[in-house]
Structure formats: structure tokens, C-alpha cells
A and B are shown apart, each in its own frame.
Chain A
Amino acid sequence: MSKRPEPVQVVKQRRDSVLRALTKGVPYIQFLGVEFERRGDELTAIMPFKEELIGNPILPALHGGATAAFLEVTAIITLSWGMIWEDMESGALNVENLEQIKLPRLPKTIDFTTDYLRSGLPRDAYARARITRAGRRYASVHVEGWQDNRARLYAQATGHFVMPQRDA
């Protein structure tokens, strides 16, 4: 007989609190106001609209830099989350005390290319990253950003990252 599965609340609470520990520690994510929603291991990043994100006050439109930053944050957190997931689920990562949780270092961006497909409207933006390749040392990530319609992307991006060396 296999082990009884953990109660769903325990699982959810563990995953959500690790995700919070991962994102709350980065000041720039707070500066942009980016939040993450989780469904299983899938993350969706949300950048709620605020005046500070405007680049063109006449249109008005989101600043291209804010959009690039939003997509880069999404890529980095998704990559990091993928690394943490296995350890978190196997129990290798001690999540008893979240104050002292030892998360791996964040991946470092090598290059990041943003493709601006439409001007960013003054409203919330969403993004999801797909890890195209995650090697021991390098990773390649594609990110899609949209606003009102999931199928009508307003920006997309591709980036390469150096993965942190574990227990080095």
C-alpha cells in the first residue's frame, strides 16, 4: 500500500508560502507591483496597472521598459520555481520555518529580447513563461504577455539565463 496522500490544505499552504518567500524577497518585483498566481506548478504573473508604469502619457501606454521588466521577472521566477519545485515536493527543502528558508540563488540573465506586438494599454497585464530548455548551466525561456485577450499577445520575449550552481 502506498503512503496516504497529504491533505490538500497542507500541500497548498506549503507551495503558496514557498512561492511567496521567493517573490517577496525581491525589491524590484514589489516596485513593479508584480504578483504571481499558481495552479499546480503553473505560474501566471500579473502586473496590476498603476500610473507609475506609464511610458507615454498622451496615448496613454505602458512603458516598454516596464513591459520588458515584467516579462523578465516572469522568466526568472518561473525558472527558479521550477528548480525549487522538486526539492519542495520531495521534502529536501526544509519549509518548516519560512523565515529561514534557504532558497537557491536566482538565475542570472545573459540576454533578453522583447518583441513589442501592440502598445500596452493602461490596464492589468498578464504573463506566462515556458522553459524551452533547462540545462545544468544554461536555460532558455520564452515569455508571453497579454492584457484583455489571451490570444492577442501585447508582447513576447526570449531570454537566456545562467543557472545558479547548487551547493557550490
Chain B
Amino acid sequence: MTNKIERAGQFIRALPHADALGMELEELDPGTAVISMPYSDRIVGDPETGVVHGGAVSALMDTCCGAAVMSHPSNPAGTATIDLRIEYLRAATPGQRITARATCYHVTRSVAFVRATATDEDEDLPVAMATGTFTAGSGK
């Protein structure tokens, strides 16, 4: 399993946009993934408060959902986002790392259904929640 995480971690670091945001794979199990992203001044959306831009959280959620699809036991050859909805429950606390947890609930011959939550260091109330559908299998 450690090997699998290492390989998947390398895969995520090879995604230029995920790497630019400093994303790190924390856990990977069949159909679930945990990916975190450090706080950085570069991804601030509101300069007055220092709160991270929603777009950076979207990128984290998208990557994490994609990883959950790829780790699903049905072994999809590749995946791409069809649709992703994000709800922003509250502002992430400036300076804190954001961690996304995604679960791929079901994969049909062509579609994967995923849900994810993102938290900062206060894990009681998520920062954001996501619902997405992804392509699965050989393509569209």
C-alpha cells in the first residue's frame, strides 16, 4: 500500500497545476483519497483578510475527486471532470493547511460519482463540500 501511495503521490506531483499549488497526497485507499494543500500568500483571494480564493479550493477538490476515481477498485483507465459543484461553507482560516477528503461512491461503465469535503485545522466544520461526476473507463 505504501508503494501505491508513493506512486500515486508521484503522479500527483507530475500534474503541473497540482504541483504549483503544493498539493500532497496524504492517503489513498480503494475509492478514497486525501490530499492537502499548504497556505500561501499567492493563493489569497481577499487581500484584506488573507482568506484563500475559492478557486484554489476548487482545484484541490477537483484533484482529490479525480484521485478517488482513479483509486476505485473498478480501475478506470483515466478520468476527467464532467461536472463539479462546490459549496463554500465558511472562509478557511488564513495560515492553515487545507485538506480534502474524497470518496468515489459508484462507477458505471462510463461515469464515476464522487463527494468530497475540505477542512482546515478545525475539522469540526468543513470549509467546503463538493459533489462531482467524472468520466470513467476508456473515454467519452
Contacts and interface: CB of A to CB of B under 8 A. Distances in A.
B53 A64 contact: no
Given A28-B42, A68-B84, A57 B15 contact: yes
Interface in A48-102: 51-57, 61-66, 68-70, 72-73, 76
Interface in B39-53: 41-48, 52-53
B93 to A, nearest CB: 15
B5 interface: no
Contacts of A68: 55, 58-59, 62, 84, 86
A65 B88 contact: no
A27 B44 contact: yes
Interface stretch (B16-24, B25-33, B114-122): B16-24
A52 B17 contact: yes
Interface residues of A, number: 38
A32 B85 CA distance: 21
Interface in B110-132: none
Interface stretch (A6-14, A114-122, A123-131, A137-145): A114-122
B53 to A, nearest CB: 4
A51 B60 CA distance: 18
Most chain-A CB neighbours within 10 Å: which of B14, B83, B86, B91? Answer: B86
A27 B87 contact: no
Contacts of B88: 108-112
Contact of A112 (B47, B66, B86): B86
Contacts of A40: none
A166 interface: no
A31 B85 CA distance: 23
Contacts of A62: 17
Contacts of B34: none
A56 B61 CA distance: 16
Contact of A32 (B47, B55, B81): B55
A66 B52 CA distance: 15
A26 B44 contact: yes
Given A52-B16, A105-B46, A64 B81 contact: yes
Nearest to B65: A64
A25 interface: yes
Contacts of A111: 85-88
Nearest to A155: B81
A110 B15 CA distance: 28
A113 B17 contact: no
User: Nearest 7 pairs between A and B by C-beta?
Assistant: A65-B59, A69-B55, A63-B17, A28-B53, A64-B81, A65-B62, A113-B85
Given A51-B16, A54-B16, A112-B54, 8 more contacts: A26-B44, A28-B55, A63-B62, A65-B17, A65-B58, A72-B54, A105-B46, A108-B88
Interface of A: 25-28, 30-32, 51-57, 61-66, 68-70, 72-73, 76, 105-106, 108-116, 119
